[in-house]
A and B are shown apart, each in its own frame.
Chain A
Amino acid sequence: KAGVTQTPRYLIKTRGQQVTLSCSPISGHRSVSWYQQTPGQGLQFLFEYFSETQRNKGNFPGRFSGRQFSNSRSEMNVSTLELGDSALYLCASSSGGVGSPLHFGNGTRLTVT
């Protein structure tokens, strides 16, 4: 069974630009969650989508947004990039049920210059 796939693996953007990251969940999984990982703040929850609806949201500014498609694939968008947005962005999928464990992809490394 294929794991969680994230594309691209690496991105370099300039401050002020916007970026879109993509995540394909494990086949059959309906929930996709996004996390930001930085050396200073660790792993922080951004948002979760289930059946194309945002089900949970973390404490990030509105510049961070996401969506989920009918095939459960998800995209995350960051607008007006800031230097502090440089991070590893991780996507995790699960069946979506109560208590179901999250399985992570290998992430997209975003560098903002």
Chain B
Amino acid sequence: GQQLNQSPQSMFIQEGEDVSMNCTSSSIFNTWLWYKQDPGEGPVLLIALYKAGELTSNGRLTAQFGITRKDSFLNISASIPSDVGIYFCAGRSGGTSYGKLTFGQGTILTVHP
């Protein structure tokens, strides 16, 4: 089946540093989504991407839909302690996939004050 390879698996950074994580796949996706999950809660949608090459920002977060449609990256600028959590990428493959997403394994982010 389809798989998403998300890297890095974990990151330990200092407050104020920039963060970059990415997802790659052997299959083409039509939609890329980035989520953040805090302990004991469900994933929260950060950014949705719909077109190859699209670059979208949400505050300090910026995400891009790769030109090949097989990858996406998420950048967080000037990290703060509340950025701590697990970040997931998710892809939707075809027009009929609707609610069926394929998720990456997640990137655990730790921010030291």
List residues of A whose CB falls within 8 A of some B CB: 4, 31-33, 42-45, 48, 50, 55-56, 58-59, 90, 92, 94, 96, 98-107
Q: Which residues of A contact B31 (CB under 8 A)?
A: 99
In the complex, are the beta carbons of B99 and A101 less than 8 A apart? no
In the complex, are the beta carbons of B101 and A98 less than 8 A apart? no
Question: Total number of A-B contacts with CB less than 8 angstroms?
Answer: 71
Q: Report how many residues on chain B are interfacial, defined by Cβ distance under 8 Å.
A: 28
Give Cα A98–Cα B97 distance, bound, in whole angstroms.
8
Binding stretch for chain A, among B13-21, B40-48, B57-65, B66-74: B40-48
List residues of B whose CB falls within 8 A of some A CB: 1, 30-31, 33, 35, 40-45, 48, 50, 88, 90, 92, 95-106
Residues A58 and B50 in contact in the complex (CB < 8 Å), given A42-B106, A103-B45: no
Q: What residue in chain B is nearest A4 (Cβ atoms)?
A: B42
Q: What residue in chain B is nearest A93 (Cβ atoms)?
A: B99
In the complex, are the beta carbons of B99 and A55 less than 8 A apart? yes
Which of B1, B30, B33 touches A102 (beta carbons < 8 Å)?
B33
Give Cα A45–Cα B97 distance, bound, in whole angstroms.
11
Residues A104 and B99 in contact in the complex (CB < 8 Å), given A42-B106, A99-B92: no
In the complex, are the beta carbons of B42 and A101 less than 8 A apart? no
In the complex, are the beta carbons of B44 and A104 less than 8 A apart? yes
In the complex, are the beta carbons of B98 and A98 less than 8 A apart? yes
Which of B44, B98, B104 touches A48 (beta carbons < 8 Å)?
B98
In the complex, are the beta carbons of A102 and B103 less than 8 A apart? no
Residues A33 and B99 in contact in the complex (CB < 8 Å), given A90-B43, A104-B42: yes
Q: Which residues of B contact A96 (CB under 8 A)?
A: 98-99
Q: Which residues of B contact A59 (CB under 8 A)?
A: 1
